[in-house]
Amino acid sequence: MATHATGSAPASELHAERLSSALGALVTGVDLATDTSDATVERLQELFLEHQVLCIRGQQAMTSGQQLDFAARWGEISVHPYVPSIDGYPGLMKIYDPNPVTQRWHADTTHAAAPPALSMLLARILPPIGGDTMWADAYAAYEGLSPGLRHTLDGLRAVHRGTELAGEAGLDRDAVTQTHPVVRTHPVTGRKALFVNGDYTSHFEGWTAEESAPLLAYLYAQVARPELVYRHRWQVGDLVIWDNRCTQHAVVGDTGGAERVLHRVTIAGDRPR
């Protein structure tokens, strides 16, 4: 754990600006390389629950060790079951260019028994143009459905399976297969959110894949509605923190092959209920 230093920007100087009508806020007025005081972290955690996605700008001075230490203030760091960590920094992953898995709308690692509560992504190297990341409000996606459909979904569970990368890493299929409620209740806010996604959800429990496909496709489309989305244009040093329990995200794959490197840490969550 890092020393909880008191820097030149106490929590009272934090400024948060809403980034879209759906979700997301830009935070300025803090340097996390020098200030991870209790007051600062507590204020950021309040803003996080309110906005679901925070971009804390200007954090390029953070070292990999400092990023992990800051992340540990939010909970237990989760080591990915099949994506390797950066050498010497367990739990810190290097995210490269966009790929088909990251370009689909998804929440992270929902094939786990207890998917991550939140993730933190720090932009290190960016292409001259492209490579934006979009986040969608899964609370609003659920709340916008008809009462009849919400009632139906409240009683359903879905099977989530790891991607092809799990098999390539030698993991048994059962080790990366879990069943979760289609609608999960956030353990802190108590709000309900859709919890199915195009990367990991296979089918509804008790339904065939063919029977499940039309309704799943409809639900995925609700998450991706433009009015529920915030699109983030990265700057080097942006530290973005998002709530994996009530958002989904997707990368825009328009980098043209230019280098794009971001460092990600995830924080362990609870079993969805």
Catalytic residue among 51, 184, 203, 249: 249
Name which of 198, 178, 20 is nearest 100 in CA terms. 198
CB-facing half-sphere around the CA of 81: CA atoms within 13 A? 25
Name which of 173, 171, 221 is nearest 196 in CA terms. 221
C-alpha 263 chain-centroid distance: 13
Structure tokens at 140: 């609003």
Do residues 139 and 193 make contact, with C-beta atoms less than 8 angstroms apart? yes
CA angle 165, 169, 170 (to 5 degrees): 120
What is the 3-state composition of the chain as percent helix, strand, coil, each rounded to the nearest 5? 25, 25, 45
> Could you confirm whether 160 is annotated as catalytic?
no
Do residues 200 and 116 make contact, with C-beta atoms less than 8 angstroms apart? no
Catalytic residue among 108, 137, 199, 243: 108
> Could you confirm whether 106 is annotated as catalytic?
yes
Catalytic residue among 43, 104, 106, 184: 106
> Could you confirm whether 51 is annotated as catalytic?
no
238 secondary structure, DSSP code: -
Do residues 238 and 124 make contact, with C-beta atoms less than 8 angstroms apart? no
> Could you confirm whether 151 is annotated as catalytic?
no
176 secondary structure, DSSP code: G
Beta bridge partner(s), residue 265: 92, 120
Q: Which residues are catalytic?
A: 106, 108, 249, 264
